Structure 1
Amino acid sequence: MSIPAITLNTGATIPQVGLGTWPLDDAQAADAVAAGIEVGYRHIDTATKYGNESGVGEGIRRSGIAREELFVTTKLDGQFQGEDRAIEGMRAALERLGTSYVDLLLIHWPLPQRDEYVSTWRTFEKLHTDGLARAIGVSNFKSAHLTRLLAETDVVPAVNQIQIDPAITRLEQRAYDDAHGIVTQSWSPLGGGSGVRSLLGSPVIVEVAERLGRTPAQIVLRWHVQQGLVVIPKSSDPARLAQNLDLFSFELSPDDMASIATLDEGPDAGVDSDSTGH
């Protein structure tokens, strides 16, 4: 199936649906990535903190798909923040992945109490210039963090990966990203932690799913892509992998979207982006 792509501020494109790999271990990630590529995924998301970059690389090799046909993202966490620390972190990540570059490299968290995300971003700019990361971006950044990057550095982040689902909509952050040419990507798109069950089992989602003959997960993921978000659901089950990719043969009506909007818990919902969660 054909997955739409969204153009980044680098001119490159990112497939709108990708495969998340947290919290899979190496063996699970290898199996999930190989199975995901087989059913049509071309966008894989991992992170050094997840401890599964080697497994992701193994899954890619096992698939037999050429590297240039895939969009691979990884993230560097707090231990790599600070002037030039990300250089060794990037080299180690590439070695684990078994590739000479990633398509997107993210700062995993801003960690503003350390006051190192600006110097880290300047190091990311070097990695971008050197071709080790085709695009660079951030994860869990708020508008204030991004405003500082824009004022003190040269490259506008291509992506801001944040927690979003119908209960945690981040409307103001998404509007900020849009205004600055930053693509917003949803992590934990089906609901974080115990919220997965409650979100997918909510009467609103179940009613829409039953009426359209879709799964609750497909309804929630369609809600993301219909708003122009990039989404990275995680699954290791081959049937669910295929279902999570089958989002472009149906649409949610304005009434459906309005019903789902009633699940929004407000601007204070979700994980604080200053934390070290996802």
Structure 2
Amino acid sequence: MLYSQMVETQDSTENEAQKPIPVFLHGFLGSSLDWDGCLSHLDLPHAICIDLPCHGLSKYCEVQNFEEACQQVQLTILSKLKKEKRSLNTPLVFVAYSLGARIAMFGMAKNAFPDLNVQGAIFEGGNFGLNHEEGNVLRWENDKHWSKRFATEAIEEVLFDWYEQGVFSSLNDDQRQELVELRSDNLGSQLGCMLRATSLSKQPYLLDDLKQLALPLLYICGEHDQKFRSIAENSGLAFKMVQEAGHNVHHEQPQAFAALVSDFIDQL
């Protein structure tokens, strides 16, 4: 089972206690601690934060594919609700970034969370998948390359190169250095395992299935994240663009991100 924590963000009235509980899923290289800045501004009484497989305090929990990742997320949420003496039918909203968004997308699109009462989702910087074979082949070769590097080289050196990728182009040198220092406590071999298990090349194209869901979905992107801004604008989903942010909106603009989460859940 994955590590998780139930965060009490504020005192709640009876009405607020009935609101759906957000479940936060971090991105590749991250942990549940990544959401602390956002949670400090969150106008909601409770939240569940999870360390994904091979990350944080779940670093020794390995999975082989998206199905197993979703199973672990579902099992962890149900266990947390039971431990907190809450109904297993408690309404939930996924708030998920990058890798976490792709896991949440897969679970919702492919009914891989059958025992959870999911009422909606917020996806931040998540890729819906590649809908052409050539792209999948190239992506698999790229992910294998990074996986081998994480498993065999000094993690600081790999991270410096990782954050030079185009998707992180909005970062300045100080921000890159900060992220390298923050992420260096990960285990490279475990990161490689997760990268292979959840490679974008192994993810089906999920947008069409997601648009068939009778659930509210919101896509969040930063104005400087050109790649995912284009993905959001062309998705057909409701989306919000956050000013003065790149790929990692909840880290760069935590207060603005928290306000969007609170507003989304208030409208359910």
Give TM-score, length-normalised by structure 2.
0.36
Give TM-score, length-normalised by structure 1.
0.35
More helix by share: 2
Q: Which has the higher contact order (CA 8 A, sep 6+)?
A: 2
